[in-house]
Structure 1
Amino acid sequence: MNRRFLLLCFFTISEASLQCFNVIPSNAISNSDPIAELFHVTAGECLNYCIQQSAQKGDGCVSVVFHRNFNTCQLYGHDGTLDDAQLVYLEEHELYIRSSWEGPCQDKEVPKRGYQQQPARYVAPSQQRITVSPHDYVPPNNNNQNTNNNFFVVPKSQPLSNVDLPKIDVNSIREGVRKSPQNFESAIIKEMDELESEDYFVQTTTAKTLRKPNSMTTFKNPTRGYKCPNKQDVLSYFIVYGARMFTKSVPQRLNGVDQSSCAMYCSQNINAIGNNIPCYSFNYEGANEICEMYNKQDELHWSWASLAIDQDYVFADKFCINTKKDCPAETNYPVHLYRQINRNIIRKIAGLNSKVACLAECIDNEDCKAVTYKSALCVLHNSSPSDDPRILSEGTEKTMVIENGCYVQLKTDEDLTTKVKEQSSDSWQEWSLCQFGVKGRKMRVRTRECDECEDNLQMEEC
């Protein structure tokens, strides 16, 4: 029974990790300090943190060691072969080594402190090539060298497999593994029992009873799919505020996550425990931080979604778009149903039978901030409801306004940059959650950007 459970855990999690990670069961990294340690988490949360947040905290994440019994994980900036680090056999552990830095596997930003071990497959955010020191990488022939001597085209390497790793004598490792003190194990087991009833980011939780909606609507997405079929297509989301998917189907449910993390799970098509699922759309309830992911069986006639008007929710529908302008993946495009804009018109385009095609015209127009779409007529505007909500007016059941998410994101980034500049150079950011660990103790951290200060990082025990 125990062996069957371990095999089941290995296959379900490894299938979900094929996109961004290779998994090595019963292995861990020894003789090396982690860049971060997380407590009371699932394997999916650890992998999410490695891609989504580690680079934003300043360190590039290459591998993750997850302890199944204690629901903890350690993140490393290398694959276990750096300096004195060693790969060791350790039961109830799983080693995830990152295998991709592209698409949904790409860092959200370049880590300030870089990677302890530069990955061969690394692709910097919004870049197709990276600076590599000649000491780190030597092209096999002159054809691989770029005309700019500071850059090399990094070749695609073969997928990581166990044969590339150091050979491990399992029996000798087992004999040399030191058991933790009995009182420590008892304390951990007691804490696990207390947490068992607290619903920490699990899949099979009972959803709250939803009230019967007073009004319903539908939303059509002509390019709905859980993956983009073409490389030039960019995965994005239509966002309908104040609405939720209305269906009798049971969604894949995540608790205690923010909206961006919910979108990332949907983009990677994995659920809370790391299983592969096709995610086409999701509901998000911000007050209780609940994410509900749906597959195609929950759509009406494939391209129609039945929505209930509910101000507590946000509905996100995945779609693919191809534009000349480079717009980041997972960009949100807010939708205002039954609304229209009657002024600030740049251009009118007739005969576009898709709201996605209309939106693409707007993205590629430098002055376009929003579109009004109605019955194959696409109207481009140089104003956005995000700037001035008063420009929205009542429409019909066939009209909607879609904001240019690229413009909204650019404006948000500019506002954030301005805000940071206005702040004092030595001001501290808010304390993080108690998710980090130093020598087994829970810690929280905060940072600041100050070139003249001696200390830009503070830590304290929770």
Structure 2
Amino acid sequence: MHSNFMGISATQCFLPTYHRGVSNAAPIAELWNVSPFDCLTYCIVNAGKTGDGCASIVYHRHFSTCQLYSHDGTYNGAKVVFANGHDYYNRTSFSGICQDRHPPARGYPQRRNGKPRALGLPQQTTPLKQVVQDRLSHDNFAPHGSHKSYYLYPNQPKTGCSRNQKIGYLALNDFTLTPTTPIGKVNGVDKFGCLNYCIQNIDAHGDPAFCTLISYNSATEECQLHDDTAKEAGLFTRVEPRKYSTVAEKFCLDKNVRCPEEKIFEVILGKEIHDSALHVFTNFETLSECIDACFEHPICRAVSMKNGNCSLFATNVEVEADLLHDSGNTIVVDCKC
């Protein structure tokens, strides 16, 4: 089954969204006693032989089965819904290494009737850009010293990265997640041990745990592993001030960026940089977009983001901390490697 498809990861041809399934739709095929890799491989290598194209997959973790669909889960009355123990894979590429080995005779019905929606995130009736702006237009960041909860700027949840990327972490010190149920807990480890469980996507027993972020308390040495359900609207990580706690969230950066693997980037909430910006971008939707822009600039060391505006700076915020001033709804990231 794996011929000419070895080494392909889910993030190359598919975008996973965990704890999601497809309702009100009949699959084109169902496989039993298989791994997620088997299902993804079958989707591209073999599904076309039946005449139907494979556009999405739902994998059942507890039963090792998967269902294949000819659409993205939103076609002809179908819906992508929350489903514990199920993982949804939306096919994002149909060319190159992701091209069908056997072109389906009946093609893809959703393509014939309009462009399918990208489902890297749980479905929303409001466009992503508007969701981001609506959230950020409210005072989601508290005044300095306040105990009001904060929103971290939106980022698509990640459990892993593609072959041409490496994992980094966005870390907020002295913050914890607003109470939410973790998918796993590990006790008696330090912060780096906690991160290691998340990197490997396993829990304390070595069982799979699709980790996107951690919440760690250094006073109690408790490590909480969280998946994408910890995020509001599939994007926002809600945190609140708490001493001795750290929230760290995975994100992907290009392998060509001169930063070590698993680099931790400090996130500073409620501050802005009082210095001349190298460049200002508008209408950015995620914090990782802003950070990527910094990596592409030869002398950028930090970014600030406010209401979708991303500013790049050559400022070393660790050394020049006096240039950080209070700003209720601004976020700063130290991007130097």
Pairwise TM-score range, normalised by the shorter structure: 0.5 to 0.7
Which residue of structure 1 aligns with residue 333 of structure 2? 402
Which residue of structure 1 aligns with residue 259 of structure 2? 327
Contact 2:181 2:230 in 1 (8 A): yes
When Rg is computed on C-alpha atoms for both structures, the one with the higher figure is 1
Query: Which stretch shifts more, 264-273 or 351-360?
Result: 351-360
Higher relative contact order (CA 8 A, sep 6+): 2
Which residue of structure 1 aligns with residue 155 of structure 2? 222
Contact 1:362 1:404 in 2 (8 A): yes
Q: 1:264 to 1:405 in 2, by over 3 A?
A: farther
Contact 2:183 2:209 in 1 (8 A): no
Contact 2:154 2:285 in 1 (8 A): no
Q: 1:353 to 1:305 in 2, by over 3 A?
A: closer
Question: Equivalents in 2 of 1:323, 1:396: separation in Å?
Answer: 34
Question: Equivalents in 1 of 2:180, 2:311: separation in Å?
Answer: 36
Contact 1:334 1:405 in 2 (8 A): no
Q: Compute the displacement of 1:251 (Å).
A: 4.6
Q: Compute the displacement of 1:309 (Å).
A: 1.3
Q: Compute the displacement of 1:281 (Å).
A: 0.7
Which residue of structure 2 aligns with residue 370 of structure 1? 302
Secondary structure of the residue aligned to 1:264 is helix
Q: 1:214 to 1:374 in 2, by over 3 A?
A: closer
Q: 1:357 to 1:393 in 2, by over 3 A?
A: same
Q: 1:378 to 1:299 in 2, by over 3 A?
A: closer
Instruction: Give CA-to-partner distance per residue, 1:335-392, whole Å, 9 cap, x none.
Output: 1112110214322233433321211121233322111112232211112221122111
Q: TM-score, normalised by structure 2?
A: 0.53
Q: 1:249 aligns with which of 151, 170, 181?
A: 181
Paired AA for residue 400 in structure 1: I
Q: Compute the displacement of 1:275 (Å).
A: 0.8
Which residue of structure 1 aligns with residue 47 of structure 2? none
Identity, in percent, stands at 21
Q: 1:382 to 1:214 in 2, by over 3 A?
A: closer
Paired AA for residue 245 in structure 1: L
Q: 1:349 to 1:297 in 2, by over 3 A?
A: closer
1:262 aligns with 2:175: no
1:312 aligns with 2:244: yes
Q: Compute the displacement of 1:323 (Å).
A: 6.3
Contact 1:236 1:320 in 2 (8 A): yes
Secondary structure of the residue aligned to 1:338 is strand
Q: 1:304 to 1:313 in 2, by over 3 A?
A: same
Q: 1:250 to 1:400 in 2, by over 3 A?
A: closer
Contact 1:216 1:308 in 2 (8 A): yes
Question: Equivalents in 1 of 2:262, 2:326: separation in Å?
Answer: 29
1:350 aligns with 2:282: yes
Instruction: Give CA-to-partner distance per residue, 1:129-151, whole Å, 9 cap, x none.
Output: xxxxxxxxxxxxxxxxxxxxxxx
Query: Which stretch shifts more, 344-353 or 215-224?
Result: 344-353
Question: Equivalents in 2 of 1:260, 1:284: separation in Å?
Answer: 10
Question: Equivalents in 2 of 1:248, 1:379: separation in Å?
Answer: 32
Paired AA for residue 336 in structure 1: I
Paired AA for residue 313 in structure 2: H
Secondary structure of the residue aligned to 1:243 is strand
Question: Equivalents in 1 of 2:169, 2:154: separation in Å?
Answer: 10
Q: Compute the displacement of 1:303 (Å).
A: 1.0
Question: Equivalents in 2 of 1:236, 1:252: separation in Å?
Answer: 21
**Residues 6-405 of structure 1 aligned to structure 2 (within 5 Å):** 214-228=147-161, 230-322=162-254, 324-397=256-329, 399-405=330-336
Which residue of structure 1 aligns with residue 16 of structure 2? none
Contact 1:255 1:290 in 2 (8 A): yes
Contact 2:198 2:213 in 1 (8 A): yes
Question: Equivalents in 1 of 2:267, 2:163: separation in Å?
Answer: 25
Q: TM-score, normalised by structure 1?
A: 0.39
Contact 1:339 1:392 in 2 (8 A): yes
Structure 1: unaligned runs, 5 residues or longer: 1-18, 20-212, 407-462
Question: Equivalents in 1 of 2:239, 2:261: separation in Å?
Answer: 25
- RMSD over aligned Cα, in angstroms? 2.2
Q: Compute the displacement of 1:304 (Å).
A: 1.4
Question: Equivalents in 2 of 1:299, 1:353: separation in Å?
Answer: 15
Question: Equivalents in 2 of 1:313, 1:405: separation in Å?
Answer: 23
Paired AA for residue 154 in structure 2: N
Question: Equivalents in 2 of 1:273, 1:405: separation in Å?
Answer: 35
Question: Equivalents in 1 of 2:318, 2:238: separation in Å?
Answer: 26
Contact 1:247 1:306 in 2 (8 A): no
Q: Compute the displacement of 1:260 (Å).
A: 1.5
